[in-house]
């Protein structure tokens, strides 16, 4: 029946009962008319109230939330309070999870992300121990400890496990946290589980793209109680957020790396060179250090290309970059400056060390046997190098690059396959001109 019809029926019933009561009162008693109306109206209202109350209670009885039945009993009051408390906690947890997820997905630096994740886990699960296992740099198939809070790092430092271990298949099936207190029989004998049982309560997987990449582990609760089912669910959810954030941060890192890397040689590109040289000059100024810049260019490279084709030229450029990589120190910055030109920033080095480095590299390339290099004018693929230093040759970037380029130009025009330091070039030019020290 429609709501409107029901309401109409209700009103008709109300008026009918009211009319009957009034009629009875008025005919059977000597009460005045208005008093009879008032009494009958009150009686009908009481009847309506009682009727509604029964209906409401019946509705509640049939409802799963029957605990909400209006009852003034102490027990129900207590139940209601408990329920309200539980709901409040769940709202609080959800709110927290939401904030944590926003926070985590906004962190793009993987190390920072891992630290924040651990802190979030500790806060959300009320434990004071958490750690993350991820593949180590040299070994992408094994995971080992990356970051720990509240654990004895020495104990876990040498602990590694292969990602192809059967225990991880369990995670690949379902992305949920595993309570080590209730771990299945088949895993009980597993060395990892045995090891973990000493101080780890739950583990959850880091699965950025359907494949497990690591593990998050948490210790006992601070109040020594067991983790509840809903806490395990929160842990699973957090592990999920961490996985997504981790995947984003790795992607971001890759993109960032690509944006500063030369595609052909894998060296840094010009964009990175400019920024890094600025930073290094600032650092050199602050700490009163020297810094040297080397620019080098492949000799008669157009000829090599023309004779053997562009792919052969590309291969030679790749080989030169490889040789350069093996020659530089970790602190040096090797760059493909453009075309067949390369640059090396040598922080904290003056002329002499830069010249030693340049000569080492020049000889290495001269002696290396490139494919069909006999097509070159002198039968060898060689390079020419120019060197200038901060602050002796230049006090700012533009001049430093210009002077290094001048030195390279000089190397080219005095026979190629050689290294020239700008001060030497200037000295020679001054001597030749018989002038007194006008800079180049």
- Dihedral of CA 275/277/281/283: which sign? positive
Nearest to 262 by CA among 251, 270, 254: 270
**Residue 239 interacts with which of Mg ion, ligand GH3, none, CB < 5 to 8 Å by class:** none
Candidate list 249, 305, 376, 389; residue touching ligand GH3; CB under 6 A? 305
**Residue 377 interacts with which of ligand GH3, Mg ion, none, CB < 5 to 8 Å by class:** none
The minimum distance between CB 318 and ligand GH3, in angstroms, equals 10
Return the bridge partners of 295, or none. Answer: 343, 386
How far apart CA 423 and CA 404 sit, in angstroms, is 10
Q: Is 314 in the site for ligand GH3 (CB under 6 A)?
A: yes
User: What residues between 340 and 359 interact with ligand GH3 by CB under 6 A?
Assistant: 340
Candidate list 5, 229, 310, 330; residue touching ligand GH3; CB under 6 A? 310
Candidate list 339, 352, 371, 427; residue touching ligand GH3; CB under 6 A? 339
The count of residues interacting with ligand GH3 (CB under 6 A) is: 17
Candidate list 118, 298, 343, 387; residue touching ligand GH3; CB under 6 A? 298
Rg for the chain (alpha carbons), in Å? 40
| Residue with Cβ nearer ligand GH3 (48 or 307) | 307
Cβ atoms of residues 136 and 213 within 8 Å: no
Strand order in the sheet with 383-390: 333-338, 341-347, 291-298, 383-390, 419-421
**Residue 205 interacts with which of ligand GH3, Mg ion, none, CB < 5 to 8 Å by class:** none
Q: Is 337 in the site for ligand GH3 (CB under 6 A)?
A: no
How far apart CA 319 and CA 324 sit, in angstroms, is 9
Binding mask 201-220 for Mg ion (x = CB under 5 A): --------------------
The minimum distance between CB 321 and Mg ion, in angstroms, equals 15
Strand order in the sheet with 139-149: 160-162, 139-149, 130-136, 214-218, 202-206, 178-179
Cβ atoms of residues 336 and 264 within 8 Å: yes
Stretch that binds ligand GH3, among 38-46, 86-94, 145-153, 297-305 (CB under 6 A): 297-305
Q: Is 301 in the site for Mg ion (CB under 5 A)?
A: yes
User: What residues between 238 and 257 interact with ligand GH3 by CB under 6 A?
Assistant: none
The minimum distance between CB 190 and ligand GH3, in angstroms, equals 53
Cβ atoms of residues 127 and 148 within 8 Å: no
**Token pair listed for 392:** 């002796």
| Residue with Cβ nearer ligand GH3 (137 or 310) | 310
Cβ atoms of residues 222 and 140 within 8 Å: no
How far apart CA 269 and CA 271 sit, in angstroms, is 5
**Residue 412 interacts with which of Mg ion, ligand GH3, none, CB < 5 to 8 Å by class:** ligand GH3
Work out the angle at residue 393's Cα, subtended by the Cα atoms of residues 352 and 422, and round it to the nearest 5 degrees: 60
- Cα distance from N-terminal residue to C-terminal residue, the chain: 102
Candidate list 231, 262, 280, 297; residue touching Mg ion; CB under 5 A? 297
Residue with token string 């003034």: 72
Cβ atoms of residues 312 and 273 within 8 Å: no
Binding mask 411-430 for ligand GH3 (x = CB under 6 A): -x---x--------------
The minimum distance between CB 301 and Mg ion, in angstroms, equals 4
Binding site for ligand GH3 (CB under 6 A): 264, 297-303, 305, 310, 313-314, 317, 339-340, 412, 416
Binding site for Mg ion (CB under 5 A): 297-298, 301, 340
């Amino acid at each position: 029946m429609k709501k409107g019809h029901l309401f109409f029926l209700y009103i008709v019933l109300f008026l009918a009962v009211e009319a009957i009561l009034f009629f009875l009162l008025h005919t059977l008693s000597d009460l005045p008319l208005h008093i009879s109306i008032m009494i009958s109206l009150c009686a009908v209202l009481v009847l309506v109230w009682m009727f509604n109350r029964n209906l409401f209670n019946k509705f509640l009885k049939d409802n799963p939330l029957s605990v909400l039945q209006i009852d003034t009993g102490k027990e129900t009051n207590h139940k209601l309070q408990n329920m309200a408390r539980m709901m409040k906690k769940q709202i609080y947890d959800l709110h927290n999870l939401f904030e944590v997820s926003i926070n985590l997905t906004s962190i793009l630096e993987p190390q920072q992300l891992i630290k924040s994740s651990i802190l979030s886990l500790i806060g959300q699960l009320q434990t004071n121990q958490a750690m993350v296992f991820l593949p180590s740099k040299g070994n992408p198939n094994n995971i080992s400890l990356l970051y720990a809070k509240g654990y004895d790092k020495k104990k876990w430092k040498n602990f590694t496990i292969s990602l192809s271990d059967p225990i991880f298949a369990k995670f690949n099936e379902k992305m949920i946290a595993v309570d080590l207190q209730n771990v299945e029989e088949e895993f009980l004998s597993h060395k990892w589980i045995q090891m973990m049982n000493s101080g780890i309560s739950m583990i959850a997987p880091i699965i950025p793209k359907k494949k497990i990449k690591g593990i998050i582990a948490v210790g006992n609760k601070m109040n020594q109680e067991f983790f509840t089912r809903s806490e395990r669910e929160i842990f699973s959810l957090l592990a999920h957020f961490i996985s997504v954030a981790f995947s984003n941060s790795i992607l971001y890192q890759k993109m960032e790396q690509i944006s500063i890397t030369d595609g052909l040689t894998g060296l840094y590109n010009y964009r990175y060179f400019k920024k890094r040289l600025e930073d290094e000059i600032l650092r050199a100024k602050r700490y009163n250090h020297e810094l040297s810049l080397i620019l080098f260019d492949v000799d008669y490279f157009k000829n090599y290309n023309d004779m053997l084709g562009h792919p052969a030229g590309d291969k030679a450029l790749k080989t030169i970059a490889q040789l350069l990589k093996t020659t530089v120190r970790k602190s040096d910055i090797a760059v493909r400056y453009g075309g067949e030109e390369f640059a090396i920033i040598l922080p904290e080095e003056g002329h002499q060390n830069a010249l030693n480095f340049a000569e080492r590299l020049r000889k290495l390339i001269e002696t290396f046997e490139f494919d069909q290099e006999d097509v070159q004018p002198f039968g060898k693929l060689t390079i020419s190098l120019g060197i200038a230093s901060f602050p002796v040759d230049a006090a700012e970037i533009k001049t430093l690059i210009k002077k290094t380029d001048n030195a390279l130009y000089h190397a080219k025009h005095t026979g190629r396959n050689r290294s020239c330091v700008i001060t030497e070039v200037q000295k020679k030019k001054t001597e030749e001109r018989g002038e007194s020290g006008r800079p180049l």
